[in-house]
Amino acid sequence: MKSKVTKLAGLLLGVAAVTSLQVQAETLRLLTWGGYAPQEVIELFQQETGIEVKVTKSNNEDMISKLRATGGAGFDLAQPSQDRISSAQAEFNIYRPIDLARIKSDLFIPSMLEATVKNTSIGDKVYGVPHVWGTSGLVVNRKAAPDVRDYTDLCDDALAGRVSYRLKRPTLIAFAFALGEDPFAAYGDRAQYARILEKVSARLTECKPNVKKYWSGSDDLLNLIRSGEVVAAMAWDAGGWKLNKEDPDTTFVAPKSGALGWIDTFALPRKSKAEDAAYQWINFVMRPDIAAKITAESSYFTASKGASALVEKEQTRRFEESFPQAAIDNIKWYPPVPAGLEEMEGKVLDRIKAHR
Amino acid sequence: MPVLECASLTKRFADFTAVDNVSMAVEQGSFYSILGPSGCGKTTLMRMLAGFERQDSGNIRIEGKSMTGVAPNRRPVNMVFQHLALFPNMSVAGNIAYGLKRRNTPSAERERRVGEVLERVGLAGSGNKRIEQLSGGQQQRVAIARCLVLNPQVLLLDEPLGALDLKLREHMKIELKRLQSAFGTTFIYITHDQSEALVMSDRVAVMNHGRFEQVGSPQDLYYRPGSAFVAGFVGDNNRWQGVIEQRVGAKVRVRTEQGLPVEAQAAAGFQGGVGDAVELFVRPEAIRVQLQDGGGEAENRLQARVIEIVFDGARSRLQLRQADSAQEILVNLPHTPEFATLGPGDRLYLSWHAHQCSLFTVGAGR
Amino acid sequence: MKRSQFGLGFWLLLAPLLLWLVLLILLPHVDLLLISLRLRSGPGTYRFSLHHYAEFFTEPLYWRTFLRTAIMSLLATLLTLLIAFPLAYYIAKMMRGRAKQLLFLLCLIPFWVSELVRTYGWMILLRESGVVSGLLQWSGLTGAPLEMLYNDAAIMVGLVYTAMLFMVVPLITTLDSLDDSLIEAGYDLGGNGWNLLWEVVVPHAMPGIVSGCIVVFMLTLGNYLTPTLLGGKDSLWFTEQIYTQFITRFNWEQGSAFGILLLLLSSLMVWLGLRLSGQSFTQVMGR
């Protein structure tokens, strides 16, 4: 009698184990940004490997919060920005190191891979490899706001109630550069950084009446610009190029003080259950043909070597119009954020928001 | 001059006429009842008097002043509602003071008058109680005091005893009558309970299908019903269908459908002749019941056997059947000792006078 | 033979309720409290501290937002009551039969879609390129496009709209149970509309008013979507602060402290509301 029960229980356990193994083997839970995993690419990947990809759209803060809440479980692959990895890892221990031997490194633009690996390392452990890169700058309707050349031009009286930006750390950094400071150089010097923040805060507070609203999602902003309610904004380059397809007057402008360059990475959550699938996905989407598809879909460029040759001409034209060589050289790439800075920035952002 | 007069009041709702051409006059200081079955239009009539409904035609005058277009809160009448409608969130005194406050009576005088009226209705000292702390009868008295403290010309009462149990209702009938005569206020009282109307009223109007069937003293209605409806509605009655067999002046002989010949006396104005169909009413309490044939001068004398004894204490009835005609007759059970052993099948001798019968031709009404 | 009143069946029936209360309500709040009372002393290490509560009281931004949220919620509750009361009275007392059900249903219809969609609806109406602005321009009342979004009035409109149903339903229920003859009696005794409202109708409807106000106040206080979407850059709602602390700042400790403070505020308001109106909690929630 007893043995029968044991057998039955064993059988049930076995079935459960097999099913869960199958689920693990066949699903990749991807925590990423909108546009990074187009449906077409997901389908191609499934045809090739039989692995199903489940996408959760997110942003930097949300990714960290989600992974923090579960101690790094719930997702098999995440795509945080390279500057946000090491501090989050040190604080919350939510990622596992990446085995570079399992990455086909010849698919990557070497300089980008090298920079990202360096920025996301703690000791000899590497936590990120690059995927998509882009910049923050200005999206401008050149007819309605012809004089917008730099971030601080958004505060021009002529544009009162017609501009928008996010109330987040990139805006603080951008205005710091536009006000002639170098916030990245001050990362290591809290007092200096606090002084810069104070200056930026004063400017942004002064600028607040000019702002129609602080945008929160990319679609939100694009709609404001499409309807003409907003004519100039600080935003991502891809958004500007997307609008340029619909209306040639509107496009992305690299600001005088420099566009802010970011690289979004691949990072493995600490409790990832489909590590193999994650590596397969990375090596798949970095193939030039696949990377070009992603660029075509989202207007974002990738760290894939040789993909730019496959991107359609219009896309390249838009990029070159926004980025003359001098502007490319002037891109300010985010270094890793030391712990503690974000708390200071948070308070400044709160105060700007509270000012009436 | 009557304190309240109505002339040709009519109220129609979408598909029926609730009050049909009613006229009435109520004397100052009298207790006037409107008695009728539910749906007869008495509540609508009262709501018109209070001002909650507007008449389609006709006129209401109180103390000679037309009430047309006068809102309920400006009429010199007050109303005691069927479920009393005491304000549950106010104390007893608060309820009574409500109307005085609306008249801006100074608070000292208000308190004095509230205390006075509470004393007069026998609730002295209960002013601070909450409504739900009072018994049904006490609540009744608060509802009346709440109106009387305003010294209305007329107090309207909409079946206020309906929700009380029997014992309390009997008691409140006396109480109401006593209050009315103590205050001297004119009461207009609506009820479907003929006993309430008979006990308390100076005058009673019997209402049916939106019309007044008969207006008179309780004795008039009981002894001299003006229509078959009144005879049937006021008090209990044996109600027999029949045909006139013979008529000599006021003396009429009727043969009932079951074949019982009955001698009756026609009221003044009775138009029926030989062969006419009639309804004949004899009150159970008007029939003399004897174990032996006692003789006497009663015009109607017959024998009958007991079918059933319907025991109801003082109101116990005997269901009898006359031997020759199979006519069933209802009589009161006398509670004298010789009837104690009465049982089904026993023979009884019945007799009643011709003038104790009421006679109405069928269809004509009166 | 006599069995205990609290037998096995009793406990089995009670179990789901207890589980629900403990697992989904009690535990998270206890956890919230514990998190709010610790301070990060190094990567991944914490110690006990009231720092995050002190932070709330010393940083004007936080307690001002808190106060603003409380006052705006009170105002929204009051406005909702003022608008809902005549509406509920009309439906409960003036309407009969089918018309009554139809009107009641009309009140429900907006709640068939989610709060998000309803809020977007208001955004479409009020935004500069929106319907109202367009109508005003078309009718010539205004020359240029008019921005009606992103201010406190827009937040208020959204909050009142969102909360309306939760006020109308308890009001209709209590007003429905008000015997018409009470109103007639008051009228008959010389009262007019105004003092009847205050002395008869409002006292009777008090449990409904209080329960409606409690629900609306708590919903408004805890609302996140409406103030954020309709308030734009000046929304400043306390739940937004909590969200920011948890999600953007990774500061769960501060967020938890805020959460506990918000819980205290709403409990205090419910208690005050009941005290001031002389109602008991069971009486009000029984409606």
Q: Residue C203 pLDDT > 70, yes or no?
A: yes
Give chain C positions within 8 Å (CB) of A341. Answer: none
C48: CB partners within 8 A, 6+ apart: C37, C38, C39
Q: Into how many domains does chain B fold?
A: 2
Count of structural domains, chain C? 1
Subunit contact C61:A350, Cβ cutoff 8 A: yes
Nearest Cα neighbor of B216 from B233, B229, B230 is B230
Q: At CB < 8 Å, which residues of chain C contact A? A: 43-44, 59, 61, 64-65, 127-129, 147, 150, 232-234, 236, 241, 244, 246-251
State whether B211 and B240 are in the same domain: no
3-state SS of C159-173? HHHHHHHHHHHHHHH
Among C124, C232, C119, C228, CA closest to A227: C124
* Residue reference for tokens 């802010």: A260
CA distance A109 to A106: 8
What CATH number corresponds to the domain at position A38?
A: 3.40.190.10
Please give the full DSSP string across A149-175, using - where no structure is assigned: -SGGGGG-GGGTTSEE--SSHHHHHHH
Residue B92 lies in a domain: yes
Residue C22 domain flag: no
For C105, the 3-state DSSP assignment is helix
Neighbouring chains of B at 3+ CB pairs under 8 Å are C
Q: CA-CA distance, A109 to A293, in Å (whole number)?
A: 17
DSSP assignments along B280-344, one per residue: EEE-GGGSEEESS----S-SEEEEEEEEEEE-BTBT-EEEEEETTT--EEEEE---SGGGTT--T
Based on the domain organization, do A139 and A195 belong to the same domain? yes
Tell me if chain B has a CB within 8 Å of the CB of C182: yes
pLDDT in tens, B5-35: 999 999 999 888 999 999 999 999 999 999 9
In angstroms, the CA C69 to CA C52 distance is: 19
Is pLDDT at A25 greater than 70 in this prediction? no
pLDDT reading at A8 higher than 60: no
pLDDT at A6 over 60: no
Q: How confident is the model at residue C1 (pLDDT cuts 50, 70, 90)?
A: very low
Please state the rounded mean pLDDT for residues C180-201. 90
Contact across the interface for B79 and C179, Cβ inside 8 Å = no
Q: Is C199's CB within 8 Å of B90's CB? A: yes
Q: What are phi and psi of A168, to 5 degrees?
A: -140, 175
pLDDT in tens, C217-269: 999 999 999 998 898 887 889 999 899 888 888 888 899 999 999 999 999 98
Q: Which of C91, C101, C284 is nearest to C205 (CA)?
A: C284
- Asked, for residue C32, whether it belongs to a domain, the answer is no
pLDDT tops 80 at residue A5: no
**A346–C249 C-beta distance less than 8 A:** yes
**How many inter-chain contacts (B to C, CB under 8 Å) are there?**
62
Average of pLDDT values for A219-238? 91
**What is the percent of chain A with per-residue pLDDT over 90, rounded to a whole number?**
67
Banded model confidence at residue A2, pLDDT cuts 50, 70, 90: very low
The CATH number covering residue B261 comes to: 2.40.50.140
Q: Is C286 exposed, middle or buried (0-12, 13-18, 19+ CB in 10 A)?
A: exposed
Residues A179, A225, single domain; the answer is: yes
Q: Same domain for A245 and A234? A: yes
Same domain, B285 and B224: no
Task: Give the separation between CA B256 and CA B241, rounded to whole angstroms.
Answer: 6
Q: Are B305 and B347 in contact (CB under 8 A)?
A: yes
Structure tokens at B363: 């269809």
Contact between chains at B79 and C188 (C-beta distance less than 8 A)? yes
Per residue in A38-75, pLDDT (tens digit) is 999 999 999 999 999 999 998 888 899 899 989 999 99
A354/C64 CB distance under 8 A: yes
Domain check: are A192 and A339 in the same one? yes
C-chain CB neighbours of B51 within 8 Å are: 188
Write the burial class of residue A137 (CB in 10 Å: 0-12 exposed, 13-18 middle, 19+ buried). Answer: buried
In a domain, C218, yes or no: yes
Together in a domain, A78 and A157: no
Out of C234, C241, C249, name the one closest to residue A342 (CB). C249
Structure tokens at C135: 């109508």
The range of the structural domain enclosing residue B179 comes to 4-231
Task: Check whether residue B353 and residue B269 sit in a common domain.
Answer: yes
Q: Which of C179, C182, C187 sits opposite B73 (nearest CB)?
A: C187
Confidence of residue C53 (pLDDT cuts 50, 70, 90): very high
The torsion defined by the Cα of C221, C222, C223 and C225, in degrees rounded to 10, comes to: 140
Q: Where residue B117 sits, what CATH number does that domain have?
A: 3.40.50.300
In terms of domains, do A213 and A350 share one?
yes
**Which residues of C are less than 8 Å from B188 in CB distance?**
none
Same domain for B195 and B332? Answer: no
Per CB-CB distance under 8 Å, the chain C contacts of B147 are: 189
Residues of C with Cβ-Cβ distance to B78 under 8 angstroms: 188-189
Q: For the stretch C109-133, what's the b/e string if a residue is b when 16 or more beta carbons lie within 10 angstroms of its beta carbon? A: eeeeeebeebbeebbebbbbebebb
* Neighbors of chain A with 3 or more C-beta pairs under 8 Å: C
Looking at the fold, whether B260 and B220 belong to one and the same domain comes out as no
Residue B365's pLDDT band (boundaries 50, 70, 90)?
very low
Predicted confidence at residue C235, as pLDDT, reads 80
Q: Taking the mean position of all CA atoms in its chain, how far away is CA C260? A: 17
CA distance B85 to chain C (A): 5
pLDDT score of B324: 82
C204 close contact with B: CB closer than 8 A: yes
Nearest to A213 among C64, C233, C241 (CB): C233
Residues B123, B240 within the same domain: no
Average pLDDT over residues A223-236: 93
pLDDT tens digit sequence for C152-169 = 899 999 999 989 989 999
Q: Do B85 and C184 touch (CB under 8 A)?
A: yes
Residues B272, B224 share a domain: no
Q: Are residues A267 and A193 in the same domain?
A: no
Whether residue B356 is contained in a domain is answered as: yes
- Number of separate domains in chain A: 2
Range of the domain at C79: 48-285
Q: Report yes or no: C136 and C142 within 8 Å, Cβ to Cβ.
A: yes
Residues pairing with B34 in the sheet: B190, B205
**Quick check: B53 and C152 in contact, CB under 8 A?**
no
Question: Tokens 């990832």, residue?
Answer: A272
Q: Do A208 and C233 touch (CB under 8 A)?
A: yes
Chain C neighbors of A170, CB-CB under 8 A: none
Residues in C touching B50 (Cβ below 8 Å): 184, 188
The number of beta carbons lying within 10 Å of the beta carbon of residue A339 is 13
**Which residues in A have their CB inside 8 Å of a CB on C?**
61-62, 64-65, 68, 88, 90-93, 161, 167-168, 208, 211-214, 227-229, 339, 342-343, 346-347, 350-351, 353-354, 356
- Domain boundary (B212, B231, B250) is at B231
Which residues between 105 and 164 in chain C have a beta carbon less than 8 angstroms from any beta carbon of chain B?
none
Answer yes or no: is C189 within a domain. yes
* pLDDT tens-digit map of C78-101: 999 999 999 999 999 888 888 888
Residue B366 domain-assigned (yes or no): no
Q: Of B178, B206, B231, at which residue does a domain stop?
A: B231
Q: Which residues of chain B from 57 to 96 reach within 8 Å of chain C, CB to CB?
A: 71-73, 78-79, 81-83, 85-90
Q: pLDDT tens digits, residue range C116-160?
A: 888 888 988 888 888 888 888 888 888 888 888 888 899 999 999
Query: Which among B231, B253, B280 is the end of a domain?
Result: B231
Residue B140 sits in the same domain as residue B25: yes
CATH number at residue C149: 1.10.3720.10
A213 with A254, same domain? yes
Among the partner-chain residues C185, C200, C204, the one whose CB lies closest to the CB of B81 is: C185
User: For residue range A80-122, what is the model confidence (pLDDT) as tens digits?
Assistant: 999 999 988 988 899 999 999 999 999 999 989 999 999 999 9
Task: Quickly list DSSP for A24-58.
Answer: HHHEEEEEE-TTSS-HHHHHHHHHHH--EEEEEE-
Q: Are residues B220 and B291 in the same domain?
A: no
Residue of C233, C240, C245, C253 to mutate, testing the A interface (most A Cβ within 10 Å of its Cβ): C233
Look at residues C174, C161, C76 and name the one whose alpha carbon lies nearest to residue C111. C161
- pLDDT higher than threshold 80 for residue B123: yes
Min distance B192 CA to chain C CA atoms (Å): 20
Count of CB atoms situated within 10 Å of the CB of C41: 10
Task: Please answer whether residues A269 and A76 qualify as being in contact, where contact means their C-beta atoms are separated by less than 8 angstroms.
Answer: yes
Do residues A232 and A341 share a domain?
Answer: yes
Q: What is the mean pLDDT of chain C?
A: 88
Smallest Cα distance from C183 to chain B, Å:
8
- Residue B341 and residue B362 in contact, taking contact as beta carbons nearer than 8 Å: no
**Range(s) of the domain holding residue A218:** 135-260+332-354
- Cβ contact B–A (≥3 pairs, < 8 Å): no
Any domain includes C18: no
B85: alpha, beta or left? (left if phi > 0; alpha if psi -120 to 50): left
- For residue B97, give the chain C residue with the closest CA: C189
CA B196, CA A124: separation in Å to the nearest integer? Answer: 105
**CB-based contact B73 C203, cutoff 8 Å:** no
How would you classify the pairing of strands A52-57 and A27-32?
parallel
Same domain, B214 and B261: no
Q: Tell me the C-alpha distance between A263 and B258, whole Å.
A: 113
Residue B215 has pLDDT above 60, yes or no: yes
Residues B132 and B275 in one domain: no
Residue at C142 is within a domain: yes
Whether C232 sits inside 8 A of A213 (CB atoms) is yes
Of C187, C203, C204, Cβ closest to residue B72: C187
* B40 plus B185 within the same structural domain: yes
